[in-house]
Chain A
Amino acid sequence: MKKGIFILITINFIVAICFFLTYGPISHFRNFLITTAMTTKDHKYLARIFYSEDMINKVLSENTVEGFSNGTDTSQIDIGGNDEDYKYASTYEKEILDHKKNDVYKLIEFEYNGYDAYLVAVYDPTRISLIQTSKLGSYGQTLLNMAKDNNALVAINAGGFEDPNGQGNGGTPMGVVIKNNKVVWGDSSTPATMAGFTDDGILLLSYDSPNEAIKQGMKDAIQFGPFLIVNGVSATINGNGGWGINPRTAIAQRKDGIVLFLVIDGNGANKYNWSGRGGATLDDVITIFERYGAYNAVNMDGGASTNLIIKNKLWNNPCAISSTGERELPNGWMVK
């Protein structure tokens, strides 16, 4: 009898904690649960179990990344602009700038909030271009296969894709894709949140129409966001930003033209713990980019799409449900 009562009290205690976290006066856990679940492609039900649609919408509206009024001012980027006797502003900057003369890129690995993070500094941004699945519109390819097909030194995933019921095959990009100064996917005349590179290797973040962006020199681009840093100003994050905690991929460019590919892992393939699949918030991503001197930065597709390939090897620990954690994707950014 006593043992039974003890078990019952323990269960009650656990239930009380759960109720306190989900419905209590402290909104942190509630916001974390809703924003994380609602930004996944196929785990939104984890928020809907506990909250009404009205509550979910309210939380999402209170946790946002505020947009910018303008896109990138390309005249502020001076590729290779650092003097030879430039003094490092911080240890983080030293990590980037301290490299051999002929290095194409440098990989910096570190841990952030207990998760593995990878920062690739690309010294010549004109070597960056968009790679796409060979069967655009029908089937996606793993980033590893795209990188192999294109002899890429480094590759990260780029835009999102249509994913009905989590069954998408990565073949249908979500939104606009520009490749070699041409719109290869999406509506060319409607303004969109696009990120890409000009012919000169400048990261151009644009709210214009694809046609207008091409006129401004956009060579390769995808439609994704949000913009995290524009012209040196970091985005205003309301609450936790509304994107929860997930594996992240993001790109940035410093004023001296060095491009930063950032990949932050979560718990890896098929591994969930109490905090979900883990990773970072967009606020974390901005913090990391600020450390490394990013002048413009943008979020790419994350979650199970987050992939880093270096020299034809899967470098990070992605979390898609497959033997390697990879999934088929529509496109990626490569350094050649």
Chain B
Amino acid sequence: MKEKKKTRIKFKKINILIALNILFLLGCCIFYGSRLIYYYKMEHPKVVANEELVDLITLKKNVTTVGSGLYKNDDGYVYKGDNISNYVQYSGRIWRVVSVDKDNNIKLITDDAQTSLVWGISTDYKKSYVRSWLNDDNNNIKSFYQGLGDTSNLVKTKTCIDEISEDSITCDDYVEDNIGLLSAYEYQLAGGKDSYLNIEQYWWTSNINNDETAWYVYSKGSLNDTSYSGTIYYSYGVRPTVTIKGTSKIKSGDGSSDNPYNLDSPTTNILNKKYVGNYISYSGYTWRIIETDDKYVKIVMDGVVKDDNEDYYTSFGTTNYYSANSKVGNYLNKKFYNSLTNKDYILQSNFYAGRYDYSNKYDFNSITEYNEKMKVGLLQLGELFVTDVSKYFLATRTKTTDNNIYQVLEDGRIYAGDLTDELMVRPTLYLKADLAIQSGSGIQKDPYIIG
């Protein structure tokens, strides 16, 4: 009897040891297995090349009926909520997928504002400045559409232009353009201020109210409709929308913010063949391409000038006219210019210092009224990527006697501030068009390196 008991205890001990041993081995498998998966995935981001974009977006596993994600409705699919992997890289910019229509066409909106403008003096979207800036090719500056890369996969975009109120947000009346603007209806459908569309900045929708002002989303994410006060009209961000064929093939990516679906084809490694919106590294600073041409490439600093490794602050000068002799102009064209390497890359060109106020009805074409040839300039209101950086001077002014110069605020608004305000400086340059790209992928984290 005693022997039996002893054997049972011994047997139990062995079983415990075996169980502990198996647990240990399982623990090892889980620990090293998870490290293998983690590091392998980190070094080998998922690349889904040559798949059609619509097939990837509308995968069954992506469709949801609760929480944030892709919802199926009578018109197709629509994204709702926040923290959604609906990022797309197209034409050098990051976009978000808004919806997929019945024809499998996909509506995209830029992930950030592309410029800042007055919506328009007219309350008709068809005659608004934002529509003109997005689409017209007869303005003094290139339209947003003209600055896009490959447009062969674009179809016309519907823009809702209903007159709406807080109680009635509809989308029945629309226009079709190459480039559109998001409507308040679509903003609300996506979840409004609780959605991925809320970027905590001011930006225009395509709708007006019955009081002849335009609706916009403000920095807290709600809709508002105070677009002017007397003869002062407000400049808010412009977030273009495009509609792309669902059959567009992606080159890489999984739709996440780190690895967006990439629709951009590889381009020749010459600077002016790169996309507007691509990032380049030059002379120790990162810059962004804002215009390309056969003869030049215009770039703007993706940040502000540093002096002794600190952000450089200055007042604008004694007048609000930007020139090489103004305080800011003198600094940029002498001290800053002299600090740049490979100066032979820079082309001396015309930089504008136009006026923008009610006297010219806030027409952005008036920014090209005055110009001066110099090496380093400032960005103009209406140019691309104005709101990427804040607390810096533009070259755009009000009337000379006002002592006001436009500056960019953190929430994406443009503000006519005082000349004596101490702000940062964000230069823009014209580079030679045929500079060779040595390396980099053109994104902010990995800008193109020019030789």
Contacts and interface: CB of A to CB of B under 8 A. Distances in A.
Nearest to B441: A164
Contacts of A138: 266, 268-269
A11 interface: yes
A148 interface: no
B21 interface: yes
Contact of B43 (A15, A45, A50, A188): A45
Given A167-B47, A172-B269, A45 B40 contact: yes
A49 B437 contact: no
A165 B45 contact: yes
Interface centre among B35, B42, B439, B446 (most CB of A within 10 A): B439
Interface residues of B, number: 27
A95 interface: no
A49 B35 contact: yes
A185 B451 contact: yes
Given A8-B18, A8-B21, A49 B36 contact: yes
B269 A42 contact: no
Given A42-B44, A164-B441, A11 B35 contact: no
B268 A137 contact: yes
A324 B439 CA distance: 28
A330 to B, nearest CB: 12
Contact of A187 (B22, B39, B451): B451
A186 B438 contact: yes
Q: How large is the interface on A (under 10, 10 to 19, 20 to 34, 35 or more residues)?
A: 20 to 34
Contact of A137 (B39, B42, B269, B446): B269
Contacts of A162: 439
A174 B28 contact: no
B58 to A, nearest CB: 26
Contacts of B45: 165
Given A49-B35, A137-B268, A174-B439, A12 B21 contact: yes
Interface in A237-258: none
Contacts of B269: 137-138, 172
B305 interface: no
A25 interface: no
B13 to A, nearest CB: 13
Contact of B35 (A48, A172, A187): A48
B438 A165 contact: no
A182 interface: no
A190 to B, nearest CB: 10
Contacts of B441: 164
B251 to A, nearest CB: 10
Contacts of B252: 167
Contacts of A50: 32, 35
B25 interface: yes
Interface of B: 18, 21-22, 25, 28, 32, 35-36, 39-40, 42-45, 47, 252, 266, 268-270, 436-439, 441, 446, 451
| 5 A-B pairs closest in CB distance | A137-B269, A45-B39, A48-B39, A49-B35, A45-B40
